[in-house]
Each structure stands twice: as C-alpha cells, then as structure tokens.
Structure 1
C-alpha cells in the first residue's frame, strides 16, 4: 500500500461567472497502511474530494499525489479504488457477482486464475463462494456491499476510498461491515480514506480523523487527540451529537455475518 496526499485541492463547478467551490484548498494525507476518517455533514465536500481522487470530479487546482506522483486515471490498472455508498447501483445488475469481481482484476491472469481469485476475494469478504453465480438483486444490502469491497480489492489498489459505505445499510448490519473493514485493514495493511457523516463510525475504524466543513478541513490529527480534545467548534458540535461521546465507543458486533 502507499501514501495518498492532497495538496491545496480545489474543486469548482458552475461557470466562470457563477462558480461554486465544493472543495476549497484541502490538504490531507492518508499515510501508508493507515485508515484516515473524513467526517462532516452532508454537502460539506467529502464525496467530492473522493471523486476528485479517482478522476470523477474536475480538479480546479492543487495536486493529488500517490507516493509523490500524480494519480493516474487511465488504463486498466487503477491504483485508487472506490467503494460507493449504494452497493446496488455500483454493481451491474446483469452480471453475476463473480463476473463483477473478475472484471476488476487487472490484465495478465488466465481465465482459471481469475475465477480462483474471485472466489478467494469473496471468501475474504465473508461471502459464500456458492453465491458466485448470483445476481446483485439476489443478495442483501450487506452482502452487496461486501461484494463491492471484493471488487475494489480485485483491482489490486494501493489505496481504497470508502465513501459512506454503511449509511445505506440497516443498523443491524452496519457493525458487521465495519468489523470486516477493520479485519481487512489489519490483514492486508490497507491504506484507506474512510468517509462518513457519522463520527461514531469513523472513531471505530480510523487511526486519524479529519473534520470537513464548508469544503475545508477545519481540524485533523490522531483520532484519540481529535476526539478527546477537539479544537474547533464544529468538531465539538459533531461530538456532542454522538450518544455517549465522552465514553469509549461501544465495539461493533464481533460475530461473523453473511448479511
């Protein structure tokens, strides 16, 4: 895995006469092998920053670097892979889940190798390989999000960007998916930008936290530091909205789930 760095990133929409700045001068680092949680309310620019990183939003100015080099957005090998909020819309409903995962594997693998790798990745994200021929519509929301994670890993990324990946799931399933993210990070040493509007979710998975407000990063640092001694009023407001925010967060369920 590798380091992802945002340097003075600005993303603007609209026209020159009526521009709208969605991301305004963001500086942020996702260190090698670490999970950085990016938190803020809806509309603050979190998802726009993520989309800029993978080439889906226009970069007005600034730089996005992977190990010191501009992030490439062309070709079959994409070093950044993104997992989106809605697991159903991110998977082709006409394809089996095995084909969706196989499609993301870079060139150079034989058909048998690709099939075996898809099955390995499905097992890794705790989806029964017996479901490999199933279509997304035959799976639960939690299972579809697991498949989306497997598809992202199939691309052999250097950094994974997870954009609100639990917000569309039932509360009963969110904990299992968060535990899976933690397990994958430990087992694979993933570098990850984990985006959420929920500070309780971010504090569970991230070693570092960045708080975004109005298109800007208003506070960032080690998770323990930011969450126990917030310096910005907006961070304090987010913490105040979390039940039991001054106590240790309740761990998500540890039992494995196929949901």
Structure 2
C-alpha cells in the first residue's frame, strides 16, 4: 500500500489553466473519489500523475518521492480509462494485452489466467479479441491489464460512464472487491456522485480546476459544506445504489 499526494499541482494548456494549485492526498489502502463535472480538471490531474502530461507547477509524490524523477514504468501507478475498447489493441488478444503490461520474469500464461479469474472472466477467453467482448467485459480486461503492472496506486478515470446502469453495478462491485482484497490505494474519478459515494473512503469535489471540498465520504455526503457539492448530491439518485448492490 502506498500514498499518492498532489502538492500545489497546476496544469496549463496555453492560456487555459486546467488544474489550479491542487492539494490532494490518496492515503495508503484507501479510495479517494474525485468528483466534478466534465471539464473540471479531474482527468488532467490523473494524466499528470501517470506521466502523460507534466505539471506546470507543484509536485506529485508517491510515498514521498517525486514521480517525475521516476521512469513511467517505475512509477507504480496504473490507469484505467473511460473507453476500454480504445485502450486495448483490437488486433491483439486480451491475453496478449494483459501479458504486455507484466514485468519481466513472470510466468505470463499463468499470470494472465490468474488475473482473468480475479476480474471474474473465464481464463479460456484469453485468446479472444476485444471486439468479441461486451463493454463490461472489456472494462474487466482493462482492470486486469492495469493490475498486471503490479501498481502501488490505481487510477480509475470514469470507468463506468459508458456502461449501462446494470453493467455499472457489476463493475463497481468488482472494483470495490478488488480494492479490499488487494489493499490497493485508488483515485476513483467520476462526474457522478452516486458512483463515487459507492466505492470511496474519502471524497474530493473538483470545480474549475480546484478542489472545493474534501473529507471522509460520510461527512461530505451527510453535511456538504460547498454549494456545488450540494448540487451534485441533489443530482445523484440514490436508487442507483440499490441497483448496484444487487448486481453481480
């Protein structure tokens, strides 16, 4: 288990400041749900953490070490994206995609089978191409691929937003189960507070590139201090939670 910390992180694209002096900590072994509307800077913050874009200012620390000093492969951070189909090579078998992310010296055939079982997929599907899988199955493959890199911290960026509600439930239940079984530290990003509150120990609310509220999930949900948090809470139907709890 590892701690991921953002210290005064800013990201600027030309004249646009996407992220503005963000301080945020993902404690070891916990899930921090980062919620906010589209364009609030959530995905930009995640992209900086995994090395896709360099921060304009500030530092991103993994267990106290600035991740910019580490090679991307050595950062111990893996990201699962919104669209699993675009993140998987359509010409490569799902087993090949998972194996590609593994470190050297691993029995790749055995590890692919173990990871597919871990995400509730039949290991016999390892030779299948992504096009032969449903959206929910492809997202399970994307999770397995991320876990193949043996991450210290997992970043999940809108991983259920393109799925039907019933399929969302199965994926969210899986994420929650994996996090608990593996003791993962996780930054879980969504525009939907109903999704975030289902999996998170802590919740951070992001608007226009800044964190406007952050705290234990129960506290933020029961007594939101910022008007924007209250807006998100009012727009998050609680009926989704019961649907997800019934999903398998």
TM-score bucket (shorter structure): over 0.9
Equivalences for residues 35-184 of structure 1 within 5 A? 35-71=31-67, 74=71, 76-109=73-106, 113-184=107-178
1: CA distance, partners of 2:137 / 2:205: 29
Cα shift at 1:157: 0.4
Task: State the SS of the aligned residue for 1:252.
Answer: helix
Correspondence for 1:252: 244
Task: State the SS of the aligned residue for 2:195.
Answer: helix
1: CA distance, partners of 2:92 / 2:75: 21
Cα shift at 1:114: 1.0
Q: 1:232 aligns with which of 226, 232, 236?
A: 226
Aligned alpha-carbon RMSD (Å): 1.5
Cα shift at 1:243: 2.4
Deviation per CA, 1:152-190: give whole Å up to 9, x if none.
000000000000000011122000000000100110001
2: CA distance, partners of 1:78 / 1:147: 21
For structure 2, the 5+ residue unaligned runs are none
TM-score (ref. length: structure 1): 0.92
Cα shift at 1:253: 3.7
Correspondence for 1:190: 184
- Conserved in 2, the CA contact under 8 Å of 1:208 and 1:221? yes
**Distance change in 2, residues 1:78/1:65 (3 Å):** closer
Task: State the SS of the aligned residue for 1:200.
Answer: helix
1: CA distance, partners of 2:204 / 2:72: 31
1: CA distance, partners of 2:247 / 2:194: 20
Correspondence for 1:217: 211
- Conserved in 2, the CA contact under 8 Å of 1:3 and 1:31? yes
For structure 1, the 5+ residue unaligned runs are none
Task: State the SS of the aligned residue for 2:87.
Answer: coil
- Conserved in 2, the CA contact under 8 Å of 1:78 and 1:155? no
Task: State the SS of the aligned residue for 2:127.
Answer: coil
Equivalences for residues 1-16 of structure 1 within 5 A? 1-14=1-14
Task: State the SS of the aligned residue for 2:242.
Answer: coil
Deviation per CA, 1:28-75: give whole Å up to 9, x if none.
000000000000000000000000101112310000000000115526
2: CA distance, partners of 1:133 / 1:191: 30
2: CA distance, partners of 1:7 / 1:76: 22
Q: 2:21 aligns with which of 25, 34, 38?
A: 25
